[in-house]
Amino acid sequence: MRLNSFEAINAFAKQLERNIISDSFHTKVVVTPSSVNEVGVVIKISLLKTYVQTQPPAVRSSRTLRIRVSVCGSATSHTGLRQAVEAIEALDEFFMRDSLRLEVDKDDVIKLIPNSRIIQTISEEDSFIDSPDSIAVQDVQDDRIVIITIPTGGD
């Protein structure tokens, strides 16, 4: 099964939504740009770059997508803070799986995309932006860069 970059990023968003599960919350996964402006915490998926590598020749059969995955929003209470922390931990658990592959939901059947790969790097920046002496709302911005490799349509 061959996907273009747009199909791959949307399949990845749906894969995250299926796998980022908690008993205490449901976090919306959105692909940006989006008109979604939810109160609380959301997981935003942003395409940063898509390209076919040219060297070495063997990798020309694959396309690379560089994506930003952000847990972001406002933690207006301890409930919101718990939701943000649990969403971040759920992402950590998802990305720690061995041999993570892109999945597509085709007619309610989940299919792995052969020769695909998903890897991440985590930003070392702080996730919770606040003033320690303030009781104001905390803004959450936990970013990670995800690299997805998919087969191209060529030979």
CATH at residue 142? 3.30.2000.30
CB-facing half-sphere around the CA of 76: CA atoms within 13 A: 5
Q: What pairing do the DSSP bridges indicate for beta strands 138-151 and 62-75?
A: antiparallel
Mean predicted lDDT score pLDDT of the chain: 84
Q: What is the pLDDT of residue 85?
A: 87
CA angle centred on 108, ends 106 and 114, rounded to 5°:
40
Q: What is the pLDDT of residue 36?
A: 66
- 38-65 pLDDT per residue, tens: 667 889 999 999 998 777 766 567 899 9
Residue 74: domain span? 5-151
Burial of 150 (0-12, 13-18, 19+ CB in 10 A): buried
Question: CA-to-CA distance for 34 and 150, rounded, in angstroms?
Answer: 24
Quote the number of domains for the chain: 1
- 64-73 pLDDT per residue, tens: 999 999 998 8
89's enclosing H/E stretch is: helix 78-95
Task: List per-residue pLDDT tens for the chain, 155 residues long.
Answer: 789 999 999 999 999 999 887 777 777 899 998 776 666 788 999 999 999 877 776 656 789 999 999 998 877 777 778 888 888 899 999 999 988 999 998 888 999 999 899 999 887 777 776 655 666 667 788 899 999 999 886 54
